[in-house]
């Protein structure tokens, strides 16, 4: 398929609503759970359901998409299943039923993004440097969601979060039917098994480092909003702090073509890990200082924005042809799935028994280990897929 700018809005719209849901869920769902009197450990478990499904589901859906060649049909089914699964949140506030509801919803919701990522990169062809511009619409969706809801919850009950989530889910479903068809081009690695690609030392190191980055972010996504509110920040201020990080992330998305002309993707990743070490130390020990918290949020440009674009591009570099969907699915499963799950589950006991400062110090340690792994195995990858 030749690249047609008329299709940009279709992919961009999907990114907008998909990450608007993240902007609803990550900052505010824990506040909703706290409002219905769940404990810190119960909140950490419920918040970890989504990354658990992001670990398990994308591999199944990615295999199905590559095996059948019907990638877009899978995206549509995932959108419909996500809406139907989400409806369950209106009918229970009990721990185990809500756990099941979130598991079903997340099983479908997590399926589509790796497939859309593979579709976007295939659609862009030789112009993959423009990936960040399309992906930035996801960040815009996140900002609209997190700021709008942040202001709203200063005036209305947190319960209305459930209805906001349903509206966003319907938007995801709408744009799931707008994603353009893209032909998957043959590649010389098509005859290789997926295991032979995964077991390359550089690929294993990339997955390992990305796992550690998501592990480091687990406590951030689980307790950051509660942490700020408990230290006197208004919910609207919490929304602005989340939004600031994503605004800076958008800036990096547009800078990536320039950056990749000057430094390699592994070098970008190493800088991202170094910034993550600093960021989580600032959050853990500087919450009483607004300038330090602002600086920590600016660093989101590196710890997520630059990290995500560089990592996705490297995965696209290693997994080509018929392995594209499976490669992106493995990345999502091992990084945002397994890493996010582990970080979220560990955050509950750390928060409850040792406090936020120790918890975020552990995040900084995980990022440091990822930096060391990157420097050990991936520093010499010089080719830039962007």
SS3 state at 69: coil
Minimal CA–CA distance to 81: which of 47, 109, 120, 48?
109
For 145, half-sphere exposure in the C-beta direction (CA atoms, 13 angstrom radius) is: 32
Q: Tens digit of pLDDT for each residue in 281-319?
A: 999 999 999 999 999 999 999 999 999 889 988 888 888
Region for residue 38 given its phi and psi (left: phi exceeds 0; alpha: psi -120 to 50; beta: otherwise) = beta
Q: Are 342 and 290 in contact (CB under 8 A)?
A: no
Better-scored residue on pLDDT, 132 or 204? 204
| Ordered DSSP codes for 116-166 | HHHHHHHHHGGGGGGHHHHHHHHHHHHHHHHHHHHHHTTTS-GGGHHHHHH
- Percent of the residues in the chain that have a pLDDT greater than 70, as a whole number: 90
Long-range contacts of residues 164-169, Cβ cutoff 8 Å, at least 24 apart: 164/24, 165/21, 165/24, 165/25, 165/86, 165/89, 166/83, 166/86, 166/87, 168/17, 168/20, 168/21, 168/24, 169/21, 169/82, 169/83, 169/86, 169/109
At 68, the pLDDT band (50, 70, 90 cuts) reads confident
Q: Is the pLDDT of residue 193 over 90?
A: no
pLDDT of residue 128: 61
Domains of the chain: 5-180+189-377 (1.20.1250.20)
pLDDT of residue 242: 87
pLDDT of residue 207: 93
Minimal CA–CA distance to 201: which of 381, 383, 385?
381
Region for residue 366 given its phi and psi (left: phi exceeds 0; alpha: psi -120 to 50; beta: otherwise) = alpha
Cα distance between residue 346 and residue 357, in whole Å = 14
Q: Tens digit of pLDDT for each residue in 3-31?
A: 455 567 888 899 999 999 998 998 889 88
pLDDT of residue 187: 46
Q: Tens digit of pLDDT for each residue in 129-158?
A: 677 788 889 989 988 998 899 889 888 888
Cα distance between residue 347 and residue 278, in whole Å = 19
Q: How many CB atoms lie within 10 A of CB 48?
A: 24
Better-scored residue on pLDDT, 31 or 62? 31
pLDDT of residue 188: 44
pLDDT of residue 191: 56
SS3 state at 382: coil
Q: Tens digit of pLDDT for each residue in 323-371?
A: 677 788 788 888 887 888 899 889 888 998 898 999 999 999 999 999 9
SS3 state at 332: helix
pLDDT of residue 277: 98
Cα distance between residue 368 and residue 351, in whole Å = 21
- Its pTM stands at 0.75
C-alpha distance from residue 39 to each of 66, 329, 349, 383 (Å): 41, 32, 11, 48
Better-scored residue on pLDDT, 341 or 248? 248
């Amino acid at each position: 398929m030749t690249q047609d700018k008329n299709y940009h809005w279709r992919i961009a719209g999907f990114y907008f609503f998909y990450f608007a849901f993240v902007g609803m869920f990550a900052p505010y769902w824990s506040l909703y759970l706290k409002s219905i009197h769940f404990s810190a450990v119960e909140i950490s478990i419920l918040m970890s359901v989504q990354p658990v499904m992001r670990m398990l589901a994308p591999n199944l859906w990615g295999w199905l998409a590559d095996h059948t060649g019907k990638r877009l049909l899978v995206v549509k089914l995932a959108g419909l299943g996500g809406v139907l699964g989400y409806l369950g949140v209106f009918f229970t506030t009990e721990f185990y039923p809500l756990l099941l509801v979130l598991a079903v919803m997340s099983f479908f919701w997590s399926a589509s993004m790796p497939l859309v990522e593979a579709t976007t990169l295939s659609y862009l062809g030789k112009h993959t440097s423009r990936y960040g511009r399309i992906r930035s619409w996801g960040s815009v969706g996140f900002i609209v969601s997190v700021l709008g809801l942040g202001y709203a919850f200063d005036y209305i009950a947190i319960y209305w979060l459930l209805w906001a989530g349903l509206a966003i889910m319907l938007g995801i479903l709408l744009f799931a039917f707008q994603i353009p068809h893209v032909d998957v081009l043959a590649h010389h690695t098509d005859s290789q098994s997926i295991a032979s690609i995964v077991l390359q030392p550089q690929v294993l190191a990339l997955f390992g480092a990305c796992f550690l980055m998501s592990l480091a972010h687990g406590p951030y996504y689980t307790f950051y909003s509660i942490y700020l509110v408990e230290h006197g920040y208004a919910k609207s201020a919490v929304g602005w702090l989340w939004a600031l990080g994503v605004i800076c992330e958008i800036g990096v998305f547009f800078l990536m073509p320039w950056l990749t002309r000057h430094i390699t993707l592994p070098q970008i990743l190493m800088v991202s890990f170094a910034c993550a070490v600093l960021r989580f130390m600032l959050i853990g020990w500087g919450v009483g200082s607004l300038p330090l918290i602002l600086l920590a949020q600016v660093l989101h440009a590196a710890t997520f924005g630059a990290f995500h674009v560089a990592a996705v591009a490297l995965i696209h570099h290693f997994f080509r042809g018929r392995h594209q969907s499976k490669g992106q699915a493995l990345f999502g499963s091992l990084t945002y799935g397994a890493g996010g799950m582990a970080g979220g589950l560990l955050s509950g006991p750390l928060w409850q028994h040792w406090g936020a400062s120790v918890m975020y110090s552990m995040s900084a340690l995980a990022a440091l280990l990822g930096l060391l792994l990157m420097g050990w195995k991936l520093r010499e990858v010089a080719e830039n897929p962007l």
